Structures are given as structure tokens and as C-alpha cells.
């Protein structure tokens, strides 16, 4: 009804409304953070559907993460109800491309059941190829080759199109790339980059097909356009006619994937690509307070390479952005954890707080602190669930059920759990498979009909094939895939193998349980496996966000999101900006880091808190740190440098200054960092041979008087005390024997531990 239509449009400002209602022809919305770009895109989608301009399946909608796609789907459901169902082509570039590829896989020599390899598989395969070519894999690692190939694919280069000069291992780049692509085809597999690359091949070689898709997609909508790479750009161009109804939204200041081949120029090129395109600018920020916006705007203004834009907000509530110096990473974690608890007591929900880090190594300290204080938290992305060995094993079984051609999956689990099929036999099978151009499973089936196998290999192989066939039948009969998974884990002996492992078997079984639970959200096994590969490689977001948990994620993963309270730790030279960007020639890397800082600050709605540590464990080494140059670039008008956090105490270190004196010494906020006292402090800590906080005394000094230190003598312990142990988790004290405790751990069972290794929790 017209009333209904007015509903979803009524909250928009005139520019937003224009972007929503200009449904015909190309539109580019170019605007800063929090100005409602994503909201415009969602509303536009709702508008197109509500006014009957197109059916849901005639819309191509591309978001940057799966999480964003899910949220958009949800919001549209709220806006216009069930008519939003059937948005079949709403997803990330990769998920949409995977769908298209499934339909036409045979055009690039694949079956529609193809598997998408994860990086682990990919690297194992590349290792084989490097070894076969007698290339030193220490010097030219599989990882670096994977990176190179990915880089080529992001630029839309097949082996045939690889420009001269693009190379790997002294002249072997082209050949390796070509062999790799051939191997993938025999495995009926593709890697992540192939999803788009194969699409490009199909769409450019089959004009009729491309035309069909161009007709199908009557409206195209793209979020985070500034981060599209060449392949994605070419793909969009193939699916859009120059007069097409395409709407892209983006912000050049938030282009943070240059290192992955994203080209911010795609934005600038829009007007040329789509003559007569309408460019809409949005300037009102609806997300953040004026202090947050002021800090972020000043920061990004340092960048030379930007279009430049105005942003304003009506929200003049809230405090200045706090900036704090702390002793080390542990102190930073304590500070933030304590502030989270304080905020919680003031009524802010855990899920409304986020800790955004530059690099995942920063996460550990927070995780540990949160576990200790029982602060519920969720790591989004990070050392991920799906990358655990037991999860990979389960996936390998499922992949082999899904597609027998998947030799990498075969190799991974043919002897896991141990079946007595030795490495030599496996290599022999793979060799025969390659020689005959068949899959390993086919080779096995063949071998079983001959007398080439010794009985001790023959029997377990025959059982293995029989089991796989049975599980596949089970799946084909319509047994839900998570039940098939449970069955195969039990029947294969995998569960028993984990039960027998007393150290981490239980954790692994818990993870596998988690896995079968997660699978239930997917209708088909294929859908699930596809989701996994997409989530693992590109999407930094976790499958489902539980409400009520603090969110820990990387700055890259936070793009497009917003939280009332945002913590930005680790603003130190070498961490943020990263060492690599500092070492790089020119300003390109640094400017990208600064855009990342801008993304970070602009995630905050009410409150942003920045911190930096004087000492940090970086990749296993203690180093003394200087505050980030980005800290200096923040304007005092919007920033509150805090010195009295109590998380900075260099008392045991002669010559070490506290930040307070630095703040006091310096006439301006930024100037103080290079003061001689700071330099002196640096030279002291850099010569300190060991981790500064390693001794209990130091720890006590740093912790201050207010925090209890773990009790050291046995008299402090009594039966029934609840404790936490780094390795075994929570438990209760059963008995005290001198400095040793017998603890019944909730998960790990009864153990004798030395008392200094546990912390009292009750």
C-alpha cells in the first residue's frame, strides 16, 4: 500500500531518499562512514520489491561479508515481510559466483559437485607440485606461491593471460600456475580465487549466457564498492550493461583491502563506466557522537590520497575519545576487561561492546583475561573453529562423501583414525590415480579388483570403501547430514580415537559436537560445505552472533559494523601502523593503515577508547613500543589523554617514566611522545632481557594494591576452592599437599598441579 511504502521511506533524509528512489540507471553513493549507505542499499532493495519493479530472484545484491548478507536479508524481511524470500542472488561476491559456477561447471571442465579447497588443502597441493618440480620449498614456500596465484586470480589472470614479468621461483611461475589449474580440474576442485576467475571465463566466452544473466539481473546493488578487486570489478561489468540499473555504495576513505588487490579506482572510474551515472553524496552521519566523528575526521585528513568529504552529526552527547598508555599487553587487557565490567554495571550490554585489534596475535591476552573474569566474549574470525584439525578431519570425510574425486580429502583421512594403511600404500594409490587420470577412490576401487594389494592393506581399504559407500547411501536416503556426520564419526572410530586422547580429546569432541550443531542450520551438505569454505577464507565473521558477548575481532572484520562502546588497543608503531607498512617505500601502506584506523574509530556510536602499551610480546619477542603516529594525529579538542588508569607502573624500572609526566611535560598532546624522558624510558626497556611482567613482584607492582595476587602458600588454599588453570580450565580443589593441589577439573578430570599455576576464582 502507499501507506506501507511511505513507512520505510519516511525516516530517510532527502539525499538518501533520492538514492533509494532513483531505481533506473546507474547510481553511485559516495559517502563517509555511518552516513547510511548500507541503509540506503537495504531500503532501495525493499523499495524495488515493494513497488513490484522486480521479483526477488531478479536482483543481484553483493555484500562484503556473509554476515552482512544475513543481516540485510533479515532487515528486508522486517521492512517488507515474506515477499523478501527468494532473494536467491544476495550474498558475497564469492557465494554468488559459486552459485553461478555450480550451474555451468562443465564449461570450465568441472562437475557441479566440485569442492572448494581451503588454504590448507591448497598449500598441500602446491607443496606437491613444488616438490615435483624440484623447487626448494624452504626458499619458495607453498604459502607464497598460494599468495602469488591468489594475486593473479584477483586480477583476472588465467595462466594463459598471465602477463610477462609475473613470475615465481625464477621463471617457473607460469608453468606452476598452469599445472596447478590442471590438478585442480582433475580433483574436481577449485580454490577461492577460481570462483570468480571461472565465472569470468564462462561469461566472457559464452556471450549468450552472459546476456541471459544481464537480462535476469534487472537490478544490481553493491555494498562496500571501494573494496572490489579487478576480478570482482570485471565480473560486475560482465553482468551489467552500461545503461543497467546498478547501484554501488562506498567510501574511498574505507578502502582497506588494497593488499588483497582491491582497487579504490573502481569508484573513481564509475562515471566513465556508466555514462550519465547519478552520483549521490551523503554528509550526515547518524552513527557517532561529534567527538568520535571529530577524532576520526582529523585522523583521515592526514591522508593525501583521498577525495575528501564533509561529515557532520547532530549528536553532541558523549565523552571525548579516551587515549591511555599502559605498561604492557597484559595490563591493557586488564584495563579493558575492568572497563567492560564497569560498563556492564552501568547497563551496557556485553554484545554492545567490541574490542577491535589490528592483528590476531593481540587477541590472546583479551581472551585469557575474559576467561578469568568470566566475561562472555566471542572471537569473530581469528584462529578459527573451522581450522581446527578435528573439524578439518570431519570435513574431509564429508567432502569425500560429497565428491569421490576429492583426493586431498582422501589423503587426509584414509588413515585417520589409523587403519593400518601406511604412507607407502597411500602414495602408491595416488601414483596409480595420477598415472591413469582417475581419482584416488577410483584407483582404490580398481586395486581391490586386482591382486596387487597385500592382505594387510587390502582388508582395511575394502572396509574403508564399504564404510564410505554406506555413509553416502545414508545421506542419499535423506538422513539429515548432521546425523550422517555423527554416525560416520562413531562408526569410523574417530570418536573413540578422541576419547582415548586424555589431553585434548574431550575438547575436540566438544568441538565436533559444536560442528554437528552448526550444520543443522543448513539444508544440504553441499550448502554447508560451501558455507564453510566461504567463511574460512574470506569472511572474518563468525557463523552466528550470540547475544550477550563482547565481540573481539580484527579491524578488517569490523567493516560496516557498529557498536556503542569500542575499544581500540595496540595503537603502537609497528603494531598499528603495522611494521610492514612502515618499512614499505612511499605512503601507500601507511595511508591504508590510516584508513583502517578511521574504520576503527567510526565503528563507535557513543564511546571509543584507544590504548597503547609500552612493552609488547610481538611474535614471541618482547619489544618496547612507541605510541602510534595515529595517536599524535588525534586533535585534543576531541580526545582525552588519560594518565591515571593505574595500569602503567614502571616503579621497578629506574628511569621509566609514567605517561602522566609525559602528558604534563608536553605543551601539546601530540608533542610529548618524542620527549627525552620517553626516549630514555625506551632505551631502558629495550635493554631489559626478559619479559618485564614475568616475576610475581613485578606483577604485583603493576597490578597495584587493589588486585589480589594468586596465593603462594598452601595455607591459602582450602578444599572446595574454585580455581582456574591455563591448560585444564576450571575446577575445584580436592586436597592440598604442600605446594601441590589435587584439583577436580570440570573438563580435564582430576589432576595434581603446582599451586602457583592456578588462580583462585571464588
Does an H or E element contain 411, and which? helix 407-413
Residue with cell 554495571: 345
Report if residue 287 touches ligand ATP, rule: CB under 6 A: yes
Alpha helices in 492-541 (DSSP H): 494-500, 505-519, 525-537
Report if residue 34 touches ligand ATP, rule: CB under 6 A: yes
Instruction: Give the C-alpha separation, 349 to 343, whole Å.
Output: 8
Report if residue 560 touches ligand ATP, rule: CB under 6 A: yes
Tell me the torsion sign for CA atoms 742, 743, 744, 750.
negative
Report if residue 577 touches Mg ion, rule: CB under 5 A: no
Do the Cβ atoms of 396 and 413 come closer than 8 Å?
yes
- Looking at beta carbons only, is 32 or 325 nearer to Mg ion? 32
**Stretch of residues binding Mg ion (CB under 5 A), selected from 35-43, 106-114, 170-178, 501-509:** 35-43
Q: Which does 39 bind (CB under 5 to 8 A by kind): ligand ATP, Mg ion, none?
A: ligand ATP
77 is an annotated ligand-binding site residue = no
Q: At what angle do helices 192-205 and 207-216 cross, to 10 degrees?
A: 100
**Stretch of residues binding Mg ion (CB under 5 A), selected from 34-42, 445-453, 503-511, 685-693:** 34-42
Do the Cβ atoms of 289 and 275 come closer than 8 Å?
no
- Looking at beta carbons only, is 37 or 140 nearer to ligand ATP? 37
Among 222, 506, 286, 256, CA closest to 358: 256
36 is an annotated ligand-binding site residue = yes
In the complex, minimum distance from the CB of residue 77 to ligand ATP, in angstroms, rounded to a whole number: 16
570 is an annotated ligand-binding site residue = no
Total residues in contact with ligand ATP, by rule CB under 6 A = 18
Do the Cβ atoms of 724 and 372 come closer than 8 Å?
yes
Report if residue 290 touches ligand ATP, rule: CB under 6 A: no
- Looking at beta carbons only, is 36 or 156 nearer to ligand ATP? 36
Residue 478, φ and ψ in degrees, nearest 5: 100, 10
In the complex, minimum distance from the CB of residue 595 to Mg ion, in angstroms, rounded to a whole number: 14
34 is an annotated ligand-binding site residue = yes
Q: Is 262 helix (H, G, I), strand (E, B) or coil?
A: strand
Residue from 37, 183, 198, 306 binding ligand ATP (CB under 6 A): 37
111 is an annotated ligand-binding site residue = no
Among 558, 622, 632, 629, CA closest to 596: 558
Do the Cβ atoms of 195 and 217 come closer than 8 Å?
no
Report if residue 38 touches Mg ion, rule: CB under 5 A: yes
Report if residue 650 touches ligand ATP, rule: CB under 6 A: no
Report if residue 253 touches ligand ATP, rule: CB under 6 A: no
- Looking at beta carbons only, is 38 or 122 nearer to Mg ion? 38
Residue from 156, 173, 250, 560 binding Mg ion (CB under 5 A): 560
35 is an annotated ligand-binding site residue = yes
Whole-number Cα distances in Å, 623 to 118, 579, 580, 613:
34, 13, 16, 10
Report if residue 16 touches ligand ATP, rule: CB under 6 A: yes
Do the Cβ atoms of 750 and 743 come closer than 8 Å?
yes
Residues in 331-360 at the binding interface with ligand ATP, rule: CB under 6 A: none
In the complex, minimum distance from the CB of residue 67 to ligand ATP, in angstroms, rounded to a whole number: 13
- Looking at beta carbons only, is 19 or 519 nearer to ligand ATP? 19
Q: Which does 36 bind (CB under 5 to 8 A by kind): ligand ATP, Mg ion, none?
A: ligand ATP
Report if residue 35 touches ligand ATP, rule: CB under 6 A: yes
In the complex, minimum distance from the CB of residue 232 to ligand ATP, in angstroms, rounded to a whole number: 18
**Stretch of residues binding ligand ATP (CB under 6 A), selected from 30-38, 75-83, 101-109, 636-644:** 30-38
**Stretch of residues binding ligand ATP (CB under 6 A), selected from 12-20, 67-75, 438-446, 673-681:** 12-20
Do the Cβ atoms of 329 and 616 come closer than 8 Å?
yes
How many residues are present in the chain? 762
Total residues in contact with Mg ion, by rule CB under 5 A = 3
List the grid coordinates of 602: 567510526
- Looking at beta carbons only, is 218 or 281 nearer to Mg ion? 281
Report if residue 286 touches ligand ATP, rule: CB under 6 A: yes
In the complex, minimum distance from the CB of residue 560 to ligand ATP, in angstroms, rounded to a whole number: 4
- Beta strand 219-222 pairing with 246-250: parallel
Long-range interactions of 434-438: CB distance < 8 A, separation 24+: 437/186
Count Cβ atoms within 10 A of the Cβ of residue 23 and give its class: 0-12 exposed, 13-18 middle, 19 or more buried.
Answer: middle
359 is an annotated ligand-binding site residue = no
Do the Cβ atoms of 328 and 699 come closer than 8 Å?
no
Residue from 5, 7, 9, 12 binding ligand ATP (CB under 6 A): 12
Residue from 19, 27, 30, 33 binding ligand ATP (CB under 6 A): 33
- The neighbouring-strand residues paired with 357 are 554
Residues in 565-604 at the binding interface with ligand ATP, rule: CB under 6 A: 602
Q: Looking at the annotation, which residues are catalytic?
A: 37-38, 223-224, 254, 603
Instruction: Give the C-alpha separation, 383 to 642, whole Å.
Output: 32
- The neighbouring-strand residues paired with 249 are 29
- Looking at beta carbons only, is 68 or 145 nearer to Mg ion? 68
Instruction: Give the C-alpha separation, 558 to 355, whole Å.
Output: 10
Residues in 689-728 at the binding interface with ligand ATP, rule: CB under 6 A: none
Do the Cβ atoms of 57 and 276 come closer than 8 Å?
no
Residues in 535-554 at the binding interface with ligand ATP, rule: CB under 6 A: none
Q: Could you say which DSSP state residue 658 is in? A: P
670 is an annotated ligand-binding site residue = no
Which residues touch 704 (CB under 8 Å, ≥6 apart)? 646, 649
Tell me the torsion sign for CA atoms 545, 547, 550, 556.
positive
Report if residue 251 touches ligand ATP, rule: CB under 6 A: yes
**Stretch of residues binding ligand ATP (CB under 6 A), selected from 10-18, 86-94, 179-187, 417-425:** 10-18
In the complex, minimum distance from the CB of residue 560 to Mg ion, in angstroms, rounded to a whole number: 4
Do the Cβ atoms of 22 and 273 come closer than 8 Å?
no
User: Which residues are part of a known binding site?
Assistant: 31-38
- Enumerate binding residues for ligand ATP (CB under 6 A): 11-13, 16, 33-39, 251, 254, 286-287, 560, 562, 602
User: Which residues are part of a known binding site for ATP?
Assistant: 31-38
- Enumerate binding residues for Mg ion (CB under 5 A): 37-38, 560
Amino acid at each position: 500500500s502507499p501507506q506501507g511504502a511511505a513507512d520505510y521511506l519516511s525516516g530517510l533524509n532527502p539525499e538518501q531518499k533520492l538514492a533509494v528512489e532513483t531505481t533506473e540507471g546507474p547510481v553511485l553513493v559516495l559517502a563517509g562512514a555511518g552516513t547510511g549507505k548500507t541503509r540506503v542499499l537495504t531500503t532501495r532493495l525493499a523499495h524495488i520489491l515493494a513497488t513490484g519493479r522486480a521479483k526477488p530472484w531478479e536482483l543481484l545484491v553483493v555484500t562484503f561479508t556473509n554476515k552482512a548478507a544475513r543481516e540485510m536479508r533479515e532487515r528486508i524481511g522486517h521492512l517488507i515481510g515474506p515477499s523478501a524470500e527468494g532473494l536467491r542472488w544476495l550474498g558475497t561476491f564469492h557465494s554468488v559466483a559459486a552459485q553461478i559456477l555450480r550451474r555451468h561447471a562443465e564449461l570450465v571442465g568441472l562437475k557441479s559437485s566440485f569442492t572448494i579447497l581451503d588454504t590448507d588443502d591448497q598449500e598441500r597441493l602446491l607443496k606437491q607440485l613444488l616438490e615435483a618440480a624440484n623447487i626448494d620449498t624452504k626458499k619458495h614456500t607453498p604459502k607464497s606461491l598460494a599468495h602469488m596465484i591468489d594475486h593473479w586470480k584477483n586480477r583476472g589472470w588465467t595462466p594463459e593471460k598471465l602477463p610477462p614479468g609475473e613470475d615465481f621461483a625464477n621463471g617457473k611461475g607460469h608453468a606452476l600456475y598452469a599445472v596447478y589449474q590442471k590438478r585442480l580440474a582433475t580433483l574436481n576442485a577449485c580454490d577461492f580465487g577460481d570462483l570468480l576467475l571461472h565465472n569470468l571465463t564462462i561469461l566472457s566466452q559464452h556471450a549468450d549466457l552472459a546476456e541471459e544473466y544481464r537480462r535476469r539481473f534487472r537490478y544490481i546493488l553493491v555494498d562496500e564498492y571501494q573494496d572490489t578487486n579487478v576480478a570482482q570489478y570485471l565480473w560486475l561489468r560482465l553482468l551489467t550493461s552500461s545503461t543497467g540499473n546498478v547501484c554501488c555504495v562506498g567510501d574511498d576513505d574505507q578502502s582497506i583491502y588494497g593488499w588483497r588487490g582491491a582497487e579504490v579506482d573502481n569508484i573513481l572510474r564509475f562515471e566513465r563506466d556508466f555514462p550519465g551515472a547519478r552520483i549521490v553524496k551523503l554528509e550526515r552521519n547518524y552513527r557517532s557522537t561529534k567527538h568520535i566523528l571529530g577524532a576520526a575526521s582529523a585522523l583521515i585528513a592526514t591522508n593525501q590520497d583521498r577525495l575528501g568529504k564533509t561529515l557532520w552529526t547532530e549528536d553532541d552527547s558523549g565523552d571525548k575519545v579516551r587515549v591511555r598508555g599502559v605498561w604492557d599487553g597484559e595490563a591493557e587487557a586488564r584495563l579493558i576487561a575492568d572497563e567492560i565490567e564497569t560498563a556492564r554495571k552501568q547497563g551496557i550490554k556485553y554484545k554492545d561492546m567490541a574490542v577491535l585489534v589490528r592483528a590476531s596475535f593481540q587477541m590472546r591476552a583479551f581472551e585469557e583475561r575474559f576467561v578469568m573474569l568470566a566475561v562472555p566474549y566471542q572471537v569473530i574470525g581469528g584462529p578459527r573453529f573451522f581450522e581446527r584439525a578435528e573439524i578439518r578431519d570431519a570435513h574431509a570425510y564429508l567432502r569425500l562423501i560429497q565428491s569421490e574425486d576429492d583426493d586431498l580429502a582422501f589423503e587426509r583421512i584414509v588413515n585417520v583414525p589409523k587403519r593400518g594403511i601406511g604412507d607407502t600404500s597411500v602414495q602408491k594409490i595416488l601414483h596409480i590415480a595420477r598415472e591413469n587420470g582417475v581419482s584416488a577412490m577410483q584407483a582404490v576401487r580398481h586395486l581391490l579388483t586386482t591382486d596387487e594389494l597385500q592382505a594387510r592393506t587390502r582388508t582395511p581399504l575394502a572396509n574403508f570403501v564399504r564404510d564410505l559407500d554406506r555413509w553416502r547411501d545414508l545421506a542419499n536416503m535423506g538422513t539429515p547430514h548432521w546425523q550422517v556426520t555423527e554416525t560416520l564419526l562413531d562408526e569410523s572410530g574417530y570418536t573413540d580415537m578422541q576419547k582415548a586422547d586424555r589431553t585434548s580429546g574431550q575438547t575436540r569432541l566438544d568441538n565436533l559436537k559444536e560442528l554437528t550443531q552448526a550444520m543443522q542450520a543448513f539444508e544440504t551438505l553441499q550448502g554447508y560445505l560451501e558455507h564453510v569454505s566461504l567463511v574460512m577464507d574470506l569472511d572474518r565473521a563468525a557463523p552466528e552472533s550470540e547475544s550477550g558477548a563482547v565481540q573481539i575481532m580484527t579491524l578488517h572484520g569490523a567493516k560496516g559494523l557498529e557498536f556503542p562502546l569500542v575499544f581500540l588497543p595496540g595503537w603502537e608503531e609497528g603494531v598499528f601502523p603495522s611494521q610492514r607498512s612502515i618499512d614499505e617505500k612511499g605512503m601507500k601502506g601507511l595511508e591504508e593503515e590510516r584508513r583502517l584506523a578511521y574504520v576503527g574509530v567510526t565503528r563507535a556510536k557513543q564511546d571509543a577508547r584507544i590504548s597503547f602499551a609500552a612493552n609488547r610480546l610481538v611474535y614471541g619477542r618482547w619489544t618496547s613500543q612507541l605510541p602510534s603516529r595515529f595517536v599524535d594525529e588525534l586533535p585534543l579538542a576531541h580526545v582525552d589523554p588519560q594518565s591515571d588508569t593505574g595500569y602503567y607502573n614502571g616503579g621497578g624500572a629506574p628511569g621509566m617514566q609514567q605517561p602522566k609526566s609525559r602528558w604534563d611535560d608536553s605543551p601539546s598532546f601530540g608533542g610529548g611522545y618524542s620527549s627525552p624522558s620517553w626516549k630514555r624510558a625506551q632505551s631502558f626497556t629495550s635493554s631489559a632481557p626478559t619479559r618485564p611482567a614475568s616475576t610475581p613482584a613485578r606483577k604485583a607492582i603493576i597490578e597495584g594494591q587493589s588486585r589480589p595476587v594468586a596465593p603462594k602458600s598452601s595455607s591459602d588454599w582450602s578444599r572446595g576452592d574454585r580455581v582456574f588453570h591455563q591448560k585444564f580450565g576450571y575446577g575445584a580443589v580436592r586436597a592440598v599437599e604442600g605446594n601441590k593441589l589435587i584439583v577436580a577439573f570440570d573438563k580435564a578430570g582430576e589432576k595434581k598441579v603446582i599451586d602457583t599455576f592456578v588462580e583462585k576464582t571464588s
